[in-house]
Structure 1
Amino acid sequence: MNKAELVDAVASKTGASKAKTAEMLDALMGAVKDALTNQDSVQLIGFGTFAVSERAAREGRNPATGKTIKIDAKKVVKFKVGKALADTVAGVKPAKAAAKPAAPKAKKK
């Protein structure tokens, strides 16, 4: 699904116009980018968490020549999927909460 298809899907579910939905999606992506740029994480309960992680410098190999190369340290964005989304994708149905027992009736005097 690309951005245009996502806008179409959200607009049809919410009844909002495609233009307004695209504007909201752009604002959401901008807010996430700003937070990650400031080293903050973005947690959407049930969906997942976006966070910045530091990847250390390391040595690698050029696959064409086999020569050792230096790979610089860098910051990367990681996404950890939330339980609700993971369960939905896996086809796991959410467990229903156990019914609470009724409170005992007050005795009349």
Structure 2
Amino acid sequence: MGISHTTDQTFKKDIQSGLTLVDFWVPWCGPCRMIAPVLDELDQEMGGEAKITKLNVDENPATARAFGVMSIPTLILFKDGKPIDTVTGVQSKNALKEMISKHK
């Protein structure tokens, strides 16, 4: 499916249907770079079950503020536009798979 990127302007449309895992990140964040390959693998394995999109919080502060994102990386799982689960910091692929699977 491929990991997409979202912005303050497109965010609502990008998360409106199905399961969407949003990675709140910035390019200069070491842990954000560490989780990127995990998200790539997750997308290859579970792309049909959940979309993965990234939101650069430096470029899109309004959405990050709206969801109370204070530290990065923060990953929020949305179902049909509503936040249903949140984790902060680097996560294992299995932990993220479990998070998605329990909300299918």
TM-score class, shorter: under 0.3
Per the normalisation by structure 2, the TM-score is 0.25
Per the normalisation by structure 1, the TM-score is 0.24
Structure (1 or 2) with the larger CA radius of gyration: 1
